[in-house]
Amino acid sequence: MEQNYLPLFRKYRPQSFKDIVGQESLVKALSNAIELNRIANAYLFCGPRGTGKTSSARILAKSLNCEHGPTLEPCQKCASCIDITNATGLDVIEIDAASNRGIQDAKELIAQAQYAPINGKYKIFIIDEVHMLSNDAFNALLKTFEEPPKNVIFILATTEPHKVLETIVSRCQRFDLRRITVEDIAKRLREISDLENIKITDSALYTIAKNVSGGLRDSLALLDQVSILGVKEEIDKDLIEELLGKINFDTLLNLLEKINSQDIESTLLAIDNIYTKGNEPRNLAENFIEFLRNVLLVLNSQSIENITGFTNLISDDIEKIKANNFDKDKILSILNTVIEYYKEIKISTNPYLWMELAGIASCNAQKTQTNSKVQIPQAIPQRPQPATKPQITALNMQAPIQPVKNEAEQENKKIQPAIIPAAPAIQADTSDIGALWTNIINTIQSLPTKAFFTGVAKLVDIKDLKITLRFLNENTLLQAKTKLPQLQTAVNTVCDGYSVEFIKIDSSTKTIDVKPRLSSARPTPQAVQNNSQTQPISNVSPIKPAEQEEDNDEEQALETKQYSPKVQEMIEQFNGRIIE
């Protein structure tokens, strides 16, 4: 590397109006002002980072102070042009408002403005990040901005114009610089790559352009980062995505194929493989959400040009997606499920667990959608309720609607909501406790909370108006307490009057083995009578006979004793078993 090496974003910084990328309206306005000699006393350049605010300010100053100017094409050779390029001139002064923001700094600026220019025609002050000035500093500059000394020009630049005092903005000509388009960035990157002999594919440049939020400077910084690799070998899209922390297309497609095939074991293995390669659960969730969005665009668009314009996909990627014949509704269901779990992944102390639950829930959501038929059963109203809070009692899927006895019940009947179970009604063949707990679980509104109480909590008993759950350790117990309000709401909906108690795991505590089938659909409220003889409830998965459950428990206990305490803890927490 050369001693005087310059980063690409400095080496290829625009030096004249023709070099400015993607800001045609600004260039046209400033060019006309120079040609017509209608130069304002103050300008305000606003826009996102890396869009050319400071560069435009320097070019304007150079065009005005060039010894051949005012001109649209500065010579770049005179003393004034060289000083501005090197930021060493006495007539063009650049000020960083972030470190010179007080009233004393404003007074010094006003004092400097009183001196006449030395070499150029104008004395120009470029104030970068002007929104950082204090209110006192802004107020001190008001009069100078309104009536500056002759041949003094102020050029202000900011990424946050809403923080600049309105009285300052009203004294400036304001120009809003827009984000540079992907096509313009990619074109500029190709020009620079060719000049620097960087071997890089067009798809890699396009990936850079898509991921810099419209900032040309950021794209040049990333190109500079990979340029050393492009000396001997060609840089491809996968390398850029790796540097950006993005998971490549084939990996995400493989994960989607596992979920779409409803293979939970393969899905969890795919998630684990991605995790072991250094990708955090939050990063995986964000990448997968973006990927699913791109898949939906492919499935809903007939034009390849439209797809490539809105995504990072290339034609080969698009063909791979189409070859899988994904169902639009299924992909949308998976997307909604992952988004729901992403909320928990962002705040959880154990995000990997929630990423696994997201994979399981996505597979289960597909099973529910594929295998169940939506039915609208008839409900039996038991007693009149206030119109603002209708209640529905235990469901008997075979019973007809009972006659309405009075006008109050007639009015209440009109507002009863239709009850749509998320799965077909299945008659519980042993204990109603399991059926009741299953119904409570599927009444929880949040999918992540529903999965938590299904996979982590252990049901001890439901009796004496109390539901008792046990947990493996203090960590899961603390998480359960944060989700108690959602569980209690579901309990009140299904069996009003019951309380919930959490206990820590105890070797002597027996639990009821209930494995509810989760529903991905939002549950419709339904209640049961508050008595000891609970009626059979719909939307319940089959429950094993008691003798079979006891045999399985004994077999599982013998099976897990041979493993270490840590392995036993994981088996217990996830309600799992060692299969190989």
Higher pLDDT, 398 or 8: 8
Distance CA 274, CA 395 (A): 45
* Structural domains of the chain, count: 5
Task: Name the token pair of 261.
Answer: 């095939």
59 within 8 A of 14, measured Cβ to Cβ: yes
* Number of neighbours of residue 446 by Cβ within 10 angstroms: 17
Q: What is the CATH number of the domain that holds 108?
A: 3.40.50.300
Local confidence band at 535 (pLDDT 50, 70, 90 cut-offs)? very low
Max avg pLDDT among 227-231, 277-281, 398-402, 576-580 = 277-281
Domain co-membership, 224 together with 170: no
pLDDT digits (tens, 9 = 90+) for 43-71: 999 998 888 899 999 999 999 988 887 88
CATH number, domain with residue 304: 1.20.272.10
- Per-residue pLDDT tens over the stretch 122-179: 999 999 999 999 888 888 888 888 888 888 999 999 999 999 989 899 989 999 998 8
Per-residue model confidence as pLDDT tens digits over 497-512: 888 888 876 656 667 7
Q: What is the average pLDDT across 103-125?
A: 87
Q: Give the tens place of pLDDT for each residue, 6-21.
A: 888 888 888 888 889 8
More confident residue, 428 or 482: 482
* pTM > 0.95: yes or no: no
CATH of the domain at 423: 3.30.300.180
State whether 523 and 570 are in the same domain.
Answer: no
- For residue 521, count CB atoms less than 10 angstroms from its CB and return exposed for 0-12, middle for 13-18, buried for 19 or more: middle
User: Using N-to-C axis directions, what is the helix angle for 249-260 and 281-300, rounded to 10°?
Assistant: 80
Above 50 in pLDDT, residue 291?
yes
In a domain, 574, yes or no: yes
Of 339, 371, 403, which closes a domain?
371
**271/256 Cα distance (integer angstroms):** 11
Please state the rounded mean pLDDT for residues 351-369.
82
The answer to whether residue 142 is domain-embedded is: yes
The SS3 call for residue 347 is helix
Same domain, 553 and 570: yes
pLDDT for position 237: 82
Same domain, 159 and 202: no
pLDDT at 377: 34
Q: What is the CA radius of gyration of the chain?
A: 34
* Residue where a domain terminates, one of 317, 340, 371: 371
Q: In what order do the strands lie in the sheet with 123-128?
A: 92-96, 123-128, 152-158, 42-46, 173-176
Q: For residue 39, which of 231, 237, 172 has the smallest C-alpha distance?
A: 172
- pLDDT digit string, tens, across residues 537-572: 333 344 344 444 444 554 555 455 555 655 555 555
pLDDT exceeds 70 at position 516: no
Alpha carbon separation from 107 to 112, 182, 251, 352, 355 (Å, rounded): 9, 43, 59, 56, 56
Strand partners, 468: 461, 501
Same domain, 158 and 14: yes
> Which of 119-123, 183-187, 315-319, 521-525 is least confident?
521-525
- Domain end position, chosen among 371, 400, 432: 371
pLDDT at 578: 60
| Residue 288 in this model has a pLDDT that exceeds 90 | yes
Asked if residue 23 belongs to a domain, the reply is: yes
Same structural domain for residues 257 and 360? yes
* Average pLDDT across the chain, whole number: 77
pLDDT band for 460, please (50, 70, 90 cuts).
confident
Do 107 and 187 share a domain, yes or no?
Answer: no
Q: Determine, yes or no, domain membership for 399.
A: no
189 and 84 in one domain? Answer: no
Residue 435 predicted with pLDDT over 90: no
Domain co-membership, 362 together with 423? no
Tell me the per-residue pLDDT of 205-260, one tens digit each, with 9 for 90 and over. Answer: 888 888 888 888 888 998 988 887 766 778 888 888 878 878 888 899 999 999 99
Measured over the CA atoms of residue 200, residue 204, residue 208 and residue 210, the dihedral's sign is: positive
> Among 261-270, 296-305, 352-361, which is the least confidently predicted range?
296-305
134 exposure class (CB count in 10 Å sphere: 0-12, 13-18, 19+): middle
Same domain, 310 and 294: yes
In this structure, the answer to whether residues 224 and 346 fall within a common structural domain is no
Give the H/E segment covering residue 462.
Answer: strand 458-463
Q: How confident is the model at residue 407 (pLDDT cuts 50, 70, 90)?
A: very low
46 within some domain = yes
Kindly state whether residues 118 and 189 are assigned to the same domain. no
Residue in the structure block whose two tokens are 């063009």? 92
Is 380 among the domain residues? no
Residue 167's domain comprises 8-176
> Nearest Cα to 120, choosing from 81, 73, 75, 147?
81
